[in-house]
Amino acid sequence: MKFRLTDQAIEPSAFRREMLSLSAGAYCSYEGWVRDHNEGKAVQELHYSGYPQLAPSIAERILQEAQEKFQVENAAVVHRTGALVTGDIAVWVGVTAHHRGDSFLACRYIIDNIKHRLPIWKKEIYSDGSHAWIESNHCGCSDPKNLEHSH
């Protein structure tokens, strides 16, 4: 289980290779991309800032929870900081497990909890020159029974 904050581009294929395990029967991943719009506004770029003294311990706790709940063999998260443009990968999650069901559920659990519990802040810069800080939505969506929400 591991977590990384980085100001470098995320290369999923490299992280996937690190996850390779001959005892795992399933691998699931998630990539969060910077999209070109949000709530009707054209997004030019995002600025992520984090709390590097606290984020790793919270992320490791989330990864440990996923391992306990879903029989995960291995899990990892990489989150970007700094300026990102549309199309960049902002966050990557990878999970290996013996079975696909556990890998899917764990991946969803991890990204939802990373989004809502990790001390990382996002500032959107819009094409019109304006900007806004985007708050995390604390909705309790980490419950695997609550998969109908869209954020």
Domains (range + CATH), the chain? 2-134 (3.90.1170.40)
- The residue among 37 and 139 whose pLDDT is bigger is 37
> pLDDT digits over 68-124, tens only?
999 999 999 999 999 999 999 999 999 999 999 999 999 999 999 999 999 999 999
Look at residues 111, 72, 60, 116 and name the one whose alpha carbon lies nearest to residue 90.
111
Cα atoms in the Cβ-side hemisphere of radius 13 Å centred on 1: 20
Report field, pTM of the whole predicted structure over 0.95:
no
Phi, then psi, of 45 in degrees rounded to 5: -160, 165
> pLDDT digits over 20-42, tens only?
999 999 999 999 999 999 999 99
Residue 144 has pLDDT above 80, yes or no: no
Structure confidence at residue 135 (pLDDT): 82
Of 49-58, 121-130, 132-141, minimum mean pLDDT range: 132-141
Look at residues 123, 116, 124, 100 and name the one whose alpha carbon lies nearest to residue 151.
116
